[in-house]
Amino acid sequence: MAKILVADDTAEIVRLLERILARQGHEVLAAYDGRQALLLASDQRPDAILLDIMMPELSGMEVCRRLKADPQLQAIPVILLTAKSLEQEVIAGLDVGADDYVTKPFSSEVLAARLRSALRIKHHHDTMVQINEQLRAETAHRRRMEQELIQSQRLEAVGQLAAGIAHEINTPAQYIGDDLRFLRDALLPLQQVIGRLPGLGRAVGNETVSEELIAELQRLLARIDLDYLAEEIPKALRESLEGVAQISQIVRAIGDFARCDGDEKTPIDLNRAIENTALISRHAWKQVAELVTELDPHLPPVPCIPNLLGQALLNLVVNAAQAIAATRAEGSAEKGTITVRSRRQADRVEICVEDTGCGIPEAIRCRVYDPFFTTRDVGAGHGLGLAIAHAIVVEKHGGTIGFQPRPGGGTTFTIRLPLAPATPVEHEEHDNAHSAVGR
């Protein structure tokens, strides 16, 4: 059963239509002027409207124009009721948005057929609206889940690297402590000598330097290797300052990586982001590889979401280290190489992460970005690293990510990021490029 609004200033026509429509199983709403028709349409949201052209208050033409201008009402089909002599009015009504018309006197069969057609169109429209709402809800849910997955993987990555990061901080902290203890022990005898200097100065001024004072100073100086201290104290201070700088660099890199900036892009120093990634991932690669950077010093600031791009870079570097680890014989001291490059290409920047690892077998190249796909042993990996890197680069930054086998073994992953915000057309081109390169 549908809800039909009948709008006509002739009561007999309204009653006739009510009887016809009631026999067809419809609920009927009645309006006797244009203003009442608009109010009922807005309040009751009928499934279709039978609208007389000639009405008081507002003409049917004006009612139709207002209905079609209202986003909430424009989908309701409007069937004009008109006399045969008003052909120009019918044309004008269709021009302002009416969906169909029936001439008076009308055939109940023709009216029913026209109404069924209009209701089918309305049903299809309502179905599409419902489907679109479901798609919007599912898309929003997918984006929330994707964001939560990325955040979860970031935290997991930090957790996995925590022991290595602690080791990287502990090493300079240990030699800072050793240097400070050396300085403390070296200063004790020097303090004793320094403590005698005021007395020596007074004695020299009074020309009363005693042999006992000279002997005491000689005994104190004999216990100090001044040449050794003159060489080692500056070295200890220099090493301590270098250690403090190294710890500060690590802490700053972790802060940049862990900071949550939302989804707003901001221009960043891409080379610094690469260096931070190399630093915080050092524990993941230092036992199996040497990491080399070849960074373009003339790169302009790159618009991106800093923490997410850092996650993508970290995933690629860790993936490279794992690929190299898979090729090393047990106990082998020979290391592989991870090379990270940056350069500008016209309106884009390019980041390459190259490894000398095991490479990607041709049979699985089409699946490397699939979530939870991994060739590692159960428990050794969850298969999300490359999938998340792909989502971050393509969906969050409008860029592309692809890979190529490296001559002699290994793989080169390449990220390309736009220097300007991408248009919808560019997004499509990026996706096509990804399909061609990455798959």
- 166 against 241, higher pLDDT: 241
Task: State the pLDDT at residue 99.
Answer: 86
Task: State the pLDDT at residue 377.
Answer: 47
- 299 against 424, higher pLDDT: 299
Residue 312, Cβ density class (10 Å: 0-12 exposed, 13-18 middle, ≥19 buried): buried
Q: What value does the mean pLDDT take over residues 236-246?
A: 83
Task: State the pLDDT at residue 205.
Answer: 67
Q: What is the value of pTM for the model shown? A: 0.51
Range ranked top by mean pLDDT from 2-16, 338-352, 387-401: 338-352
Q: Which of 83-92, 136-145, 153-162, 411-420 has the lowest mean pLDDT?
A: 153-162
Looking only at the bridges linking them, the beta strands covering 78-83 and 48-52 are parallel
**pLDDT at 247 exceeding the cut of 50:** yes
First to last CA, the chain: 52
Determine the Cα angle at 159 with ends 156 and 163, to 5°: 150
pLDDT band at 84 (very low <50, low <70, confident <90, very high): low
Q: What value does the mean pLDDT take over residues 297-308?
A: 90
Task: State the pLDDT at residue 86.
Answer: 67
Contact 250, 279 (CB under 8 A): yes
- Quote the tokens at residue 438: 């990455």
Task: State the pLDDT at residue 348.
Answer: 93
Task: State the pLDDT at residue 287.
Answer: 86
- 161 against 248, higher pLDDT: 248
Q: Which of 191-205, 236-250, 288-302 has the lowest mean pLDDT?
A: 191-205
Q: What value does the mean pLDDT take over residues 404-412?
A: 87
Alpha helices in 24-107 (DSSP H): 34-44, 60-69, 87-95
Range ranked top by mean pLDDT from 48-52, 239-243, 356-360: 48-52
Q: What value does the mean pLDDT take over residues 277-283?
A: 86
**pLDDT at 255 exceeding the cut of 70:** no
Task: State the pLDDT at residue 425.
Answer: 45
- CA-wise closest residue to 260 among 305, 194, 322, 208: 305
Q: What value does the mean pLDDT take over residues 57-83?
A: 88
Contact 189, 220 (CB under 8 A): yes
- CATH superfamily membership of 3-106: Response regulator (3.40.50.2300)
**pLDDT at 367 exceeding the cut of 80:** no
Average pLDDT, the chain: 81
- 198 against 78, higher pLDDT: 78
Task: State the pLDDT at residue 240.
Answer: 87
Check residue 383 and report its DSSP letter: S
- Burial call 335-370: b when 16+ CB within 10 Å, e when fewer: ebbbbbbbeeeeebbbbbbbbbbbbbeeeeeeebbe
CA distance 71 to 411: 53
Looking at CATH, the fold of the domain delimited by 261-439 is given as Heat Shock Protein 90 (3.30.565)
Task: State the pLDDT at residue 332.
Answer: 62
pLDDT digits (tens, 9 = 90+) for 328-350: 755 566 889 999 999 999 899 99
Q: Which of 144-158, 173-187, 237-251, 416-430 has the lowest mean pLDDT?
A: 416-430
Q: What value does the mean pLDDT take over residues 425-439?
A: 42
Q: What value does the mean pLDDT take over residues 156-164?
A: 63
Contact 319, 329 (CB under 8 A): no
Q: Which residues are within 8 A (CB) of 308 and not within 5 positions of it... i.e. 6 or more apart?
A: 150, 392, 396, 397
Q: What value does the mean pLDDT take over residues 307-326?
A: 89
Over its C-alpha atoms, the chain yields an Rg (Å, rounded) of: 40
Cis (ω within 30 of 0) for the bond into 421?
A: no
Q: To 10 degrees, the CA torsion angle through 106, 109, 112, 114?
A: -70
Q: Is 8 helix (H, G, I), strand (E, B) or coil?
A: coil
pLDDT band at 244 (very low <50, low <70, confident <90, very high): confident
Check residue 367 and report its DSSP letter: G
- 190 against 207, higher pLDDT: 190
pLDDT band at 183 (very low <50, low <70, confident <90, very high): confident
CA distances, 207 to each of 194, 210, 215 (Å)? 20, 9, 16
Q: Which residues are within 8 A (CB) of 428 and not within 5 positions of it... i.e. 6 or more apart?
A: none
- CA-wise closest residue to 426 among 403, 390, 400: 400
Q: To 10 degrees, the CA torsion angle through 191, 193, 196, 200?
A: -140
Same fold: 3-106 with 261-439: no
The residues spanned by each domain of the chain are 3-106, 261-439
Task: State the pLDDT at residue 281.
Answer: 85
- Quote the tokens at residue 295: 């960074």
CA distance 148 to 219: 71
Task: State the pLDDT at residue 30.
Answer: 92
